[in-house]
Amino acid sequence: MSDTSAPKRPPELVVRLVTALGLIAVALLAIVFGGLLFWLLAVALGMVMMAEWADLVAAAPGHKRLGLYALVVPLAIMAPIGAGPGFIAVGLIGAAFFFVGATTRRAWLAWGVVYVAVPILSLLLIRQQKDIGLVYTLWTLALVWACDIGAYFAGRLIGGPKLAPAVSPNKTWAGLIGGMVAASLFALAMHHFYGLGWTAVVATPFLAMLAQCGDLFESWLKRRAGAKDSGTLFPGHGGVLDRLDGVVPVAPAAALLVVVLPKLIGLL
């Protein structure tokens, strides 16, 4: 008699781990090579993020397409063969924001342009910095990864009081602290092995808190939309927004710390 039972699915943790390792490998490849490859990956993920954002804010199909078309303009100008991540890109992000808002009368959809484009601009700006670009781009992204891993395991192993039960019932204070500790240990390792500056090391636990705030915001957005995940692109992880929600606030903060403030101080 043949066995007609359905094959067992792999455990969720295994699926999450395999997917996460694959994503990290692709991201590391793009970070190391930089230039056009890093920009292409950022643009591809950014377009998917915008589509997921439009779905979460219940944008009509026509408005969703308009948002995507508007986002293409600032993302294109950021290309290495274009003007790059600079003042022109900032101006085009603002123009795209006002254009989408004025055309669709949907403020939430318009904010999606800013939500997606500003972190991409920030990461590209950090990566193009001479000498420090590779290390600090890796730090910006990997501190979020370390925070997610630390928060996940600390929350599972320790549990305890909930962080924001009305927004995300599974997140705990133990997870928040575990994420901050994991990110800080990672930053110390980068300081020891790759010369990451002490300013970045000291800032890391605060950026880890910011990453988890980004996670909570996206959880609130999904709860508002009645959705479990922002998408289904990554098995065990949901959509691109689900994976990059912590990067969204961290990348601009890191760019301010690494690029903007040193230049402003240099001008004084």
Please say whether the beta carbons of 151 and 179 come within 8 A.
yes
Q: Which two tokens stand for residue 150?
A: 């630390």
Q: How far is CA 141 from CA 60, 119, 146, 160, 214, in A?
A: 32, 11, 9, 28, 14
Rounded CA separation 46/43 (Å): 5
Mean pLDDT of 244-265: 93
| pLDDT score, position 2 | 44
Q: Is the pLDDT of residue 268 over 70?
A: no
Choice between 165 and 179, residue whose per-residue pLDDT is larger: 179
Choice between 101 and 238, residue whose per-residue pLDDT is larger: 101
- Type and span of the H or E element at 172: strand 168-172
Q: What would the pLDDT profile of 117-163 be if each residue is shown by its tens digit?
A: 999 999 999 999 998 999 999 999 999 999 999 998 999 899 889 98
- Phi and psi at 234, nearest 5°, equal -110, 115
| pLDDT score, position 267 | 66
Q: Is the pLDDT of residue 234 over 80?
A: no
Rounded CA separation 54/57 (Å): 5
Please say whether the beta carbons of 92 and 73 come within 8 A.
yes
Please say whether the beta carbons of 86 and 100 come within 8 A.
no
Q: Which two tokens stand for residue 163?
A: 């962080």
Q: What would the pLDDT profile of 43-62 be if each residue is shown by its tens digit?
A: 999 999 999 999 999 999 99
| pLDDT score, position 54 | 96
